[in-house]
């Protein structure tokens, strides 16, 4: 018989902050305060570095962490999520800023925010889990490669004759400019890298990136060595975020749709992945759809106040948890502290050496690349998965994330459909087999005379529709029983295939009886009018009842003769 399954309760569209404040205590506020301050210290150099990697001014990274970080904590679906600029967006933002300017970037980010809100309202949070891991791992590794390549110039102190945007062009320009290497810049970069690698082994509580920034900035300032600093290349502003309205046109909106879609999908994937990781750390459960809405509002706010796209930052979220943060208040504290640093201390950012920024981003790229996961996939995954993985990596590096995600999803979908088609099959049964052990096996049933039984296994969809055509080859029987207990789903092509079988059988005087049609296939058949066409009496919940119905039909046929 069909089983009645209890449907899961719909997820609340309510920010986590509003839930946790019911039991909030002064002791927890003290912990959130400490965690928020520590995370702000960690976020400071990262936000500046990621802004520079994204091709925008240093303060825009802080604007993003301040505005988006506060709004995600206020409206998001996680207890401990810390949002801000992340490495995943660096190449996308740099490309948009270079080709479409700040107006294009603001418009893309606002449109992405609207898409995220729509995704949350329509409860798409759970659907994002169906994006294959091979695609996310592939484009994440590809992004790490592009970030690392983009930092070679500043790490080596090279002088570029051109200003390439695409990664292959950057690699070519590095090769042409390698003779202009500045060994002083290289030494500062190596010192920064050494601090970033060795410091956490000795004193993890104080962020290594902050120590690298302080030590190398002091070294360059006090010795006067010839190394480019942020102040040499950018104008530093300590002004708080201000409202910025982009120039909006219909043609501009149309042009930014691909970029907005990519930003929205990437923000959704990374933020929900961060939520899952943090859930495991604190034993909580996030609200995925509310998180999408919070991320959407945060991206709109970030863009309109001079920031760039934002999402949940896994490393900063983990640091929040490790330092005692357990409610969204910690994320809000982190934003307020960053605002204070921006207003009071931002001019000192001009002293930070560019090789130090490059070294920080090298570590970011290494931490995000997931090379162990890639190595494991290459060793154990099927060839089809490896093909998707390598396609995502190559297209991300050679072209961009828009192409990589689109092509990866298409390729993964095609390969998935092929797998499903390969496992979908139909068996014809005409006689019993005493060795069969399944008590419900058709091989243990007595099949009435002039009756043919087909058992379909697997989903019926367009890629597998060719497999059922041989049912129409032979009509030397009076009743065709189609057993569908192992058919979880059908699409329009599957329903059309069943309808073609029914019509062909009717022309030959054969009655079709369906057995054990599951909920989704039954709904699809009802909607298409197939159930009414076949007759409700010819749909039976179990094979025994279906064979009993076949016996009635064949008996009626014999008596009519």
Name the phi and psi angles at 242, rounded to 5. Answer: -125, 150
Report the C-alpha gap between 304 and 306 in whole angstroms: 6
* C-alpha distances in Å from residue 480, one per residue of 471, 547, 555: 9, 10, 15
When mean pLDDT is compared across 18-27, 247-256, 396-405, the lowest value belongs to: 396-405
Residue 435 in this model has a pLDDT that exceeds 60 = no
Q: Mean per-residue pLDDT for 344-368? A: 91
Closest to 414 (Cα-Cα) out of 391, 380, 393 = 391
Q: Mean per-residue pLDDT for 297-310? A: 97
User: Which CATH number, 3.40.605.10, 3.30.750.24, 1.10.3470.10, 3.40.50.300, labels domain 425-431+441-560?
Assistant: 3.30.750.24
> Where does the pLDDT of residue 37 fall: very low under 50, low under 70, confident under 90, or very high at 90 and above?
very high
Residue 439 in this model has a pLDDT that exceeds 60 = no
pLDDT reported for residue 454: 87
Helices (H) and strands (E) in the chain, counts: 21, 7
Residue 73 in this model has a pLDDT that exceeds 90 = yes
The model's pTM is 0.73
Q: Mean per-residue pLDDT for 274-287? A: 86
pLDDT reported for residue 5: 41
When mean pLDDT is compared across 267-271, 310-314, 376-380, 425-429, the lowest value belongs to: 425-429
Decide if 192 contacts 216 (C-beta within 8 A).
yes
pLDDT reported for residue 305: 96
pLDDT reported for residue 432: 44
pLDDT reported for residue 314: 85
Check residues 445 and 214 and name the one with the higher pLDDT: 214
> Where does the pLDDT of residue 433 fall: very low under 50, low under 70, confident under 90, or very high at 90 and above?
very low
When mean pLDDT is compared across 113-122, 380-389, 466-475, the lowest value belongs to: 466-475
When mean pLDDT is compared across 182-196, 380-394, 459-473, 534-548, the lowest value belongs to: 459-473
Residue 6 in this model has a pLDDT that exceeds 60 = no
When mean pLDDT is compared across 4-18, 164-178, 380-394, the lowest value belongs to: 4-18
Closest to 465 (Cα-Cα) out of 519, 428, 416, 425 = 425
Q: Mean per-residue pLDDT for 327-341? A: 96
Alpha helix positions (H), 307-450 = 314-322, 328-345, 354-369, 371-380, 383-398, 401-423
Residue 215 in this model has a pLDDT that exceeds 90 = yes
Average predicted confidence (pLDDT) for the chain: 86
Decide if 163 contacts 139 (C-beta within 8 A).
no
Check residues 269 and 400 and name the one with the higher pLDDT: 269
Please state the length of the chain. 561
Name residue 426's beta-bridge partners.
Answer: 456
Q: Mean per-residue pLDDT for 209-216? A: 93
Residue 217 in this model has a pLDDT that exceeds 90 = yes
Residue-wise pLDDT tens digits, 78-122: 999 999 999 888 888 998 999 999 999 999 999 999 999 999 999
> Where does the pLDDT of residue 320 fall: very low under 50, low under 70, confident under 90, or very high at 90 and above?
very high
**Domain residue spans of the chain:** 27-370, 425-431+441-560
For the chain, what percent of residues have pLDDT higher than 70?
Answer: 88
């Amino acid at each position: 018989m069909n089983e009645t399954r209890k449907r899961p309760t719909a997820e609340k569209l309510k920010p986590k902050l509003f839930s946790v404040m019911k039991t909030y205590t002064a002791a927890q506020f003290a912990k959130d305060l400490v965690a928020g301050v520590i995370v702000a210290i960690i976020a400071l150099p990262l936000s500046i570095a990621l802004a520079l990697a994204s091709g925008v001014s240093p303060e825009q990274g802080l604007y993003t962490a301040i505005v988006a970080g506060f709004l995600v904590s206020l409206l998001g679906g996680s207890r401990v999520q810390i949002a801000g600029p992340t490495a995943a967006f660096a190449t996308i933002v740099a490309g948009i800023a270079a080709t479409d300017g700040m107006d294009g970037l603001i418009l893309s980010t606002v449109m992405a925010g609207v898409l995220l809100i729509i995704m949350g309202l329509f409860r798409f949070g759970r659907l994002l889990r169906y994006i294959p891991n091979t695609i996310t791992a592939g484009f994440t590794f590809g992004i790490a490669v592009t970030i690392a390549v983009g930092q070679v110039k500043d790490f080596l102190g090279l002088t570029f004759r051109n200003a390439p945007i695409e990664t292959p062009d950057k690699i070519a320009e590095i090769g042409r400019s390698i003779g202009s290497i500045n060994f002083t810049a290289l030494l500062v970069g190596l010192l920064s890298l050494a601090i970033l690698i060795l410091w956490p082994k000795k004193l993890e509580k104080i962020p290594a990136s902050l120590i690298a920034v302080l030590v190398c900035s002091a070294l360059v300032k006090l010795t006067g060595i010839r190394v480019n600093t942020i102040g040499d290349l950018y104008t530093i502003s300590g002004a708080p975020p201000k409202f910025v309205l982009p120039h909006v046109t219909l043609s501009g909106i149309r042009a930014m749709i691909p970029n907005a879609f990519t930003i929205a999908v990437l923000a959704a994937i990374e933020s929900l992945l961060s939520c899952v990781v943090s859930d495991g750390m604190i034993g909580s459960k996030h609200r995925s759809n509310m998180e999408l809405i919070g991320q959407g509002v945060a991206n709109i706010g970030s863009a309109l106040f001079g920031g760039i796209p934002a999402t949940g930052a896994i490393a900063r979220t983990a640091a929040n948890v490790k330092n005692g943060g357990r409610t969204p208040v910690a994320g809000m504290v982190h934003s307020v502290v960053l605002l204070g640093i921006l207003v009071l201390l931002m001019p000192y950012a001009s002293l930070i050496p560019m090789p130090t920024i490059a070294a920080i981003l090298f570590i970011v790229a290494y931490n995000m690349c997931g090379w162990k996961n890639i190595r494991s996939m290459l060793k154990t995954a099927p060839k089809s998965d490896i093909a998707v993985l390598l396609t995502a990596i190559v297209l991300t590096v050679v072209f961009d994330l828009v192409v990589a995600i689109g092509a990866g999803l298409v390729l993964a979908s095609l390969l998935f459909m092929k797998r499903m088609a390969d496992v979908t099959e139909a068996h014809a049964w005409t006689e019993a087999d005493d060795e069969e052990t399944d008590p419900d096996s058709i091989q243990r049933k007595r099949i009435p005379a002039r009756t043919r039984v087909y058992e379909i296994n697997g989903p019926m969809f367009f890629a597998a529709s060719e497999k059922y055509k041989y049912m129409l080859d032979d009509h030397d029987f009076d009743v065709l029983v189609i057993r569908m207990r192992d058919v979880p789903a059908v699409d329009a092509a599957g329903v059309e295939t069943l309808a073609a079988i029914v019509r062909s059988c009717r022309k030959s005087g054969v009655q079709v009886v369906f057995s054990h049609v599951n909920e989704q296939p039954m709904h699809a058949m009802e909607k298409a009018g197939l159930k009414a066409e076949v007759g409700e009496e010819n749909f039976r919940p179990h094979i025994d009842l279906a064979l009993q119905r076949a016996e009635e039909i064949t008996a009626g046929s014999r008596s009519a003769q």
